[in-house]
């Protein structure tokens, strides 16, 4: 499912569609795409940013790509799909962590409610994600005694079920300081709703390129991927398509179980983005984002041809 949301989201959805089409064509898969309205277009057509028809259509899909995760109706969609946690994925350039040869990956998981059912689902989702990414998980405890006890209980349950995940607790104030000084040590942060808002703002400030950020949420049946747009300038919002590419790679790997194809897209993005165009030089593509997408697609096509000729599977 492709959901544009805004004009910027419409352009990012077009990029996501181009990348998906290139991947599926290069690796000889069939692809079925659906489109529905959300946000501004839905308001204009139906008087509501999100309709029941759109939610029902989303529930029929394996995965959803939301072009603008901050559009009107986005929060309502997370609620309607009963998503327990919203995970923001960051790729922090190595220029901010000078002793590293590659960018630092960081995830901030914000539980969307503190009731028992949502908390349990949020913990299972966060632990499963941490296991997939082979990342340590740090839990920020709520302040209320009842919520704190519930979180500690869920922590013990999930540690028993996900024994390979390294998990512990962090204090919120110390986490902000460590986020700024040593982001490479954090891995994944699991936060209650209000603390998550603070940590997301701090992490957003660390990642200077909105094209390197996207949101992800899932239930047992469906996953939602949303590009994160951090500026109010409509020109800036559409400039960097890497957010869409990173979200599509995650969609391929997790929702469609196409690991080889996801690895191919990740490699194409990294080759274009981090080989020759690093740090502020990413801004070269702000004048022509299509150039970046074409370079990525060229590498996907070559990889698909090599796989086909080599008989790999």
pLDDT at 209 over 90: no
Supply the pLDDT for residue 235: 45
Instruction: Give me the numbers of helices (H) and strands (E) for the chain, helices first please.
Output: 12, 9
Q: How far apart are CA 239 and CA 231, in angstroms?
A: 11
Residues of the chain with CATH 3.40.50.2300: 96-206
**Average pLDDT of the residues of the chain:** 83
> Beta strand pairing status for 137-140 and 188-191?
parallel
Give 106-154 pLDDT, tens digit per residue: 899 999 989 999 999 999 999 999 998 899 999 998 888 889 999 999 9
Give 245-257 pLDDT, tens digit per residue: 889 999 999 999 9
Q: Find residue 2's DSSP bridge partners.
A: 35, 65
pLDDT at 229 over 80: no
Neighbours of 31 (CB within 10 A): 11
CATH, domain 96-206, list 3.40.50.2300, 3.40.1380.10, 2.70.50.60, 3.40.50.450 = 3.40.50.2300
Give the pLDDT band (50/70/90) at residue 99.
Answer: very low
Q: What percent of the chain has pLDDT over 70?
A: 82
Which carries the bigger pLDDT value, residue 110 or residue 209? Answer: 110
> Beta strand pairing status for 63-66 and 85-92?
unpaired
Give 28-80 pLDDT, tens digit per residue: 889 899 999 999 889 999 999 999 999 999 999 999 999 988 899 999 999 99
Angle CA(257)–CA(101)–CA(282) in degrees, nearest 5? Answer: 75
Residues of the chain with CATH 3.40.718.10: 1-93+209-313
Q: Hey, what CATH topology would domain 1-93+209-313 get?
A: Isopropylmalate Dehydrogenase (3.40.718)
- By C-alpha distance, which of 77, 53, 102, 64 is closest to 278? 102
Q: Which of 195-209, 233-247, 268-282 has the highest mean pLDDT?
A: 195-209
- The tokens describing 141, both together, are 């405890």
Q: Given strand 137-140, what is the order of strands in its sheet?
A: 2-3, 63-66, 223-227, 214-218, 85-92, 104-111, 188-191, 137-140, 167-170
Give 264-286 pLDDT, tens digit per residue: 898 888 777 665 444 444 454 45
């Amino acid at each position: 499912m492709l959901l544009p949301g805004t004009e910027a989201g419409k352009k990012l959805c077009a990029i996501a569609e181009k990348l998906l089409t290139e991947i599926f064509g290069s690796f000889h898969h069939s692809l079925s795409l659906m489109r529905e309205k959300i946000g501004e277009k839905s308001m204009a057509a139906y008087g509501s940013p999100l309709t029941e028809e759109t939610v029902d259509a989303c529930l029929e899909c394996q995965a959803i790509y939301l072009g603008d995760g901050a559009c009107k109706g986005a929060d309502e969609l997370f609620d309607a799909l009963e998503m327990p946690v919203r995970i923001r994925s960051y790729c922090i350039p190595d220029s901010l962590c000078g002793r590293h040869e590659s960018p630092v990956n960081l995830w901030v998981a914000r539980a969307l409610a503190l009731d028992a059912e949502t908390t349990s689902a949020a913990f299972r989702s966060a632990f499963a994600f941490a296991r997939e990414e082979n990342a340590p998980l740090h839990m920020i405890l709520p302040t209320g005694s009842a919520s704190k006890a519930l979180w500690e209980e869920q922590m013990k349950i999930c540690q028993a079920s996900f024994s390979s995940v390294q998990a512990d607790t962090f204090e919120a104030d110390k986490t902000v300081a460590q986020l700024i000084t040593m982001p490479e040590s954090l891995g994944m942060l699991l936060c209650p709703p209000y603390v998550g808002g603070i940590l997301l703002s701090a992490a957003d400030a660390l990642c200077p390129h909105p094209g390197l950020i996207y949101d992800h949420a899932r239930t047992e049946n469906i996953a939602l991927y949303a590009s994160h747009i951090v500026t109010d300038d409509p020109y800036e919002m559409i400039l960097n398509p890497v957010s869409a590419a990173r979200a599509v790679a995650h969609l391929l790997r997790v929702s469609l179980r196409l690991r080889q194809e996801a690895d191919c897209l990740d490699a194409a993005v990294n080759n274009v983005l981090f080989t020759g165009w690093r740090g502020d030089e990413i801004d070269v593509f702000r004048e022509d984002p299509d150039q970046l997408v074409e370079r990525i697609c060229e590498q996907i096509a070559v990889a698909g041809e090599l796989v086909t000729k080599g008989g790999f599977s």
